[in-house]
A and B are shown apart, each in its own frame.
Chain A
């Protein structure tokens, strides 16, 4: 697709105009010039410092302040950083899952611990981020609140995708675990989930092929697997909760809410509405009896004071 860059022409003309304008403000522009250079540099670097103002150069130029971004931006940046961390941890988790599923001669306890730890960490990060996201509070002006709402939405989408991803990975791991378990033990997993009892009874009756020691080992192995599965199930529940909370914030793609023109319209409408409400509130407040009461009382106070002074003077 064709495009055309007109910046060069523009800059040339802008410089020409500036040099024409410069002699008129010779004294002020001396300090205004370098300040403006710095201001444009600082504008792009957000972690900048105090606002600066130029000396009054002329009636047409307003003081150009480089402001700090509002404080909630820090919160949103934190959440974004958390999401990045969670992604890295998920990559580690995938590796740990793969390693745990590989047949090995060891007990595999460390792998399980690692997986548990990682899963717990990720779920924690997600939960914390989600809480912080909810807290991006509702103070500030109307426009700022729009930006804040949009930032919330975008981060919520990322968080939700992450939790869905985590869930999917866990369920594949769980499934593979089931398959593995059915392989060597030949015992159906469903029974394990529903209760220990039936399994124990079976073991007690199976005296062919297994001696005491092996039975104990098998039991231990099964218990461990069961513990893992329970943990996975628990984290599934937690994630489900997080997803439910987030789904309020996330935009449904393909619906009217995802249209740019619809969002501009609703902004305009809500800003107008807000203004109307404010005006109405102002009017009722002005008309209100409270103001009148207060004025009357203040006047009475003054009158009493004057009377008191008079009383002191005369008597």
Chain B
């Protein structure tokens, strides 16, 4: 709840002291921030009767001076330019400016210069600079995510921009929580180190006054890690509801766009999947596909019963009851249709791409041993005509990540076989980025004896569900933090920070993006009442398509730069 309620509080505070009819003006990032936490009907209750984007306000010439304008923007130079133009020829009666992050003094001066008509009533910084998609999961929706893969020598212009945006996002999280953390980062990742150090500089030096909150006995922990430490999670196919919808169809800001999937009625073409507003989704978002099917069937049966009773209206009492319950009935109808549509479409995709078959091999590659069996399985699937190219690529990459060192010959064979099918895909890049030498964590549980033993025990015990046996590396990291045993060698502190014992609040930021499987892990960990609250965030939310695209982009940029050099 904590992230969503922070955003809602900020928006409520923005709107509550301004009376009369208002217009809310957002930019393309703050639209996402506001939309996941606040609904249109709630805005209407607060008398906000128009919502516009800041770049389209300039285009209209109408003067609406009976409206008060509330701006909520990120403090970027483009937004400041737009604002300056609009302040010079104001369309609204009053202007109240709110920025989602720290303003530079020059920006304030520029705005003051343009405000000749003195229409600005207040300028405030309200630090809601992140998209709170779930209670313990946020994202920054960054556009060029692949930049994190490039070393600093290659790309000197975009990297600082990327780091600045991440640092701003992390800072706004802690400002909205009113805490100042101890910072640790993953040793093997340069970009994680850089981000951690810049965040520390911001919080403890540049704006130390702003971050000077009341100190609790135990400071919270910020852990900055790199996506490439666990490249397996984004490549796997998912079988729990929220993760599966994102993997097969795609969720953006809690909205699912079904327009490209098939012919659907108009009101089902775009749907909302939000755990705050949909009780059925909240109860089922982490359940696996089989259980969801049963629960949806139960939901449909309930609904059918209600609608049958609605049809037999005989006395006036029945009619009165029907009219009473009609709004709820309509809402339930919409909800049931939405879930049935989603599950139907996903079943179709699973059928087409033979994902049950593929996923079984994927899970074995990710979890169990047996190199020979794995090689055979992957080869069979590569030969299978009905497997799509993208699934083949994922299988080869997973094999490469797992058995990189064990038999290079067979690995080359697989690469060649893949290349013969589709020359477009070059899986080698993933090893360059996330090979075993580059990783810190024990991804496959085969580095030290304890983990190997644990793995064997698990194999002997057998698993409940072959398709969901994979645990992301994040789970182990969280366990280590809970026990206070996160190794300093692997995850050093920034500067002279130090923490004795366990923290009570932990924010884990994954540079390069998070996945819904990991946010599920975090939510289940939080629900287990271990006394520690974890919050997860990343630059984007990945699925396999997105991760592969990032790899591709990264590879292209790396190659073009080496060509230049």
Instruction: Pull 11 A–B residue pairs with CB atoms less than 8 Å apart, ordered by A.
Output: A1-B176, A3-B126, A6-B124, A10-B120, A18-B118, A36-B118, A141-B62, A147-B67, A254-B277, A259-B39, A259-B255
**Chain A residues, CB < 8 A from B126:** 3
**In the complex the two chains form, is A167's CB within 8 Å of B323's CB?**
yes
**Chain A residues, CB < 8 A from B67:** 147
In the assembled complex, A73 has its CB within 8 A of some CB on chain B: yes
Main secondary structure of the interface of B (DSSP, over half): mixed
**Chain B residues, CB < 8 A from A267:** 52
In the assembled complex, B483 has its CB within 8 A of some CB on chain A: no
Q: Count A-side interface residues using an 8 Å CB cutoff.
A: 71
**In the complex the two chains form, is A67's CB within 8 Å of B324's CB?**
no
Would you list which residues of chain A between 14 and 64 have a CB under 8 Å from chain B? 14, 17-18, 21, 36, 39-40, 43-44, 46, 60-62, 64
| Distance from A53 Cβ to chain B, minimum over Cβ atoms (Å) | 12
**Chain A residues, CB < 8 A from B331:** 252-254
**Chain B residues, CB < 8 A from A65:** 63, 65
Looking across the interface, which residue of chain A has its beta carbon closest to that of B334?
A255
**In the complex the two chains form, is B175's CB within 8 Å of A260's CB?**
no
In the assembled complex, B500 has its CB within 8 A of some CB on chain A: no
**Chain A residues, CB < 8 A from B562:** none
Q: Which of A100-108, A110-118, A209-217, A232-240 contacts B (4 or more CB under 8 A)?
A: A232-240
**Chain B residues, CB < 8 A from A254:** 39, 272, 274, 277-278, 331, 334-335
In the assembled complex, A164 has its CB within 8 A of some CB on chain B: yes
In the assembled complex, B326 has its CB within 8 A of some CB on chain A: yes
In the assembled complex, B497 has its CB within 8 A of some CB on chain A: no
**Chain B residues, CB < 8 A from A151:** 21, 44, 49
Per-residue contact bits, chain A 246-285, to B (CB 8 Å; 1 contact, 0 not): 0100011111111111111001100000000000000000
| Distance from A17 Cβ to chain B, minimum over Cβ atoms (Å) | 6
**In the complex the two chains form, is B108's CB within 8 Å of A3's CB?**
no
8 extra A-B contacts, CB within 8 A, seeds A2-B213, A259-B39, A261-B31 = A1-B177, A5-B124, A10-B112, A44-B94, A66-B93, A147-B23, A252-B330, A253-B39
Per-residue contact bits, chain B 100-127, to A (CB 8 Å; 1 contact, 0 not): 0011010011011101111111111111
**In the complex the two chains form, is A14's CB within 8 Å of B118's CB?**
yes
Q: Which of B5-13, B382-390, B414-422 contacts A (4 or more CB under 8 A)?
A: B5-13
**In the complex the two chains form, is A251's CB within 8 Å of B40's CB?**
yes
Looking across the interface, which residue of chain B has its beta carbon closest to that of A155?
B44
**Chain B residues, CB < 8 A from A43:** 65, 93-94, 119
**In the complex the two chains form, is B112's CB within 8 Å of A1's CB?**
no
- Expressed in whole angstroms, the Cα–Cα distance for A175 and B272 within the complex equals 39
- Expressed in whole angstroms, the Cα–Cα distance for A113 and B177 within the complex equals 58
**In the complex the two chains form, is B178's CB within 8 Å of A154's CB?**
no
In the assembled complex, B157 has its CB within 8 A of some CB on chain A: no
Q: Count B-side interface residues using an 8 Å CB cutoff.
A: 86
**In the complex the two chains form, is B49's CB within 8 Å of A7's CB?**
no
Interchain CB contact (< 8 A) of A6 among B34, B123, B330: B123
Interface centre among B32, B40, B123 (most CB of A within 10 A): B40
In the assembled complex, A146 has its CB within 8 A of some CB on chain B: yes
Q: How many A-B residue pairs have CB under 8 A?
A: 213
Contact A10 to B123, CB < 8 A, known contacts A1-B176, A43-B93, A260-B39: yes
| Distance from B59 Cβ to chain A, minimum over Cβ atoms (Å) | 9
In the assembled complex, A171 has its CB within 8 A of some CB on chain B: yes
**Chain A residues, CB < 8 A from B9:** 1
In the assembled complex, A68 has its CB within 8 A of some CB on chain B: yes
- Expressed in whole angstroms, the Cα–Cα distance for A14 and B123 within the complex equals 12
Contact A7 to B112, CB < 8 A, known contacts A167-B320, A261-B32: no
Interchain CB contact (< 8 A) of B112 among A14, A60, A143, A164: A14
In the assembled complex, B496 has its CB within 8 A of some CB on chain A: no
Contact A239 to B323, CB < 8 A, known contacts A1-B10, A7-B124, A10-B112: yes
In the assembled complex, B488 has its CB within 8 A of some CB on chain A: no
**Chain A residues, CB < 8 A from B56:** 268
In the assembled complex, B303 has its CB within 8 A of some CB on chain A: no
**In the complex the two chains form, is A257's CB within 8 Å of B40's CB?**
yes
In the assembled complex, A82 has its CB within 8 A of some CB on chain B: no
- Expressed in whole angstroms, the Cα–Cα distance for A6 and B506 within the complex equals 31
- Expressed in whole angstroms, the Cα–Cα distance for A256 and B259 within the complex equals 13
In the assembled complex, A13 has its CB within 8 A of some CB on chain B: yes
In the assembled complex, A98 has its CB within 8 A of some CB on chain B: no
Looking across the interface, which residue of chain B has its beta carbon closest to that of A14?
B112
In the assembled complex, A180 has its CB within 8 A of some CB on chain B: no
**In the complex the two chains form, is B123's CB within 8 Å of A7's CB?**
yes
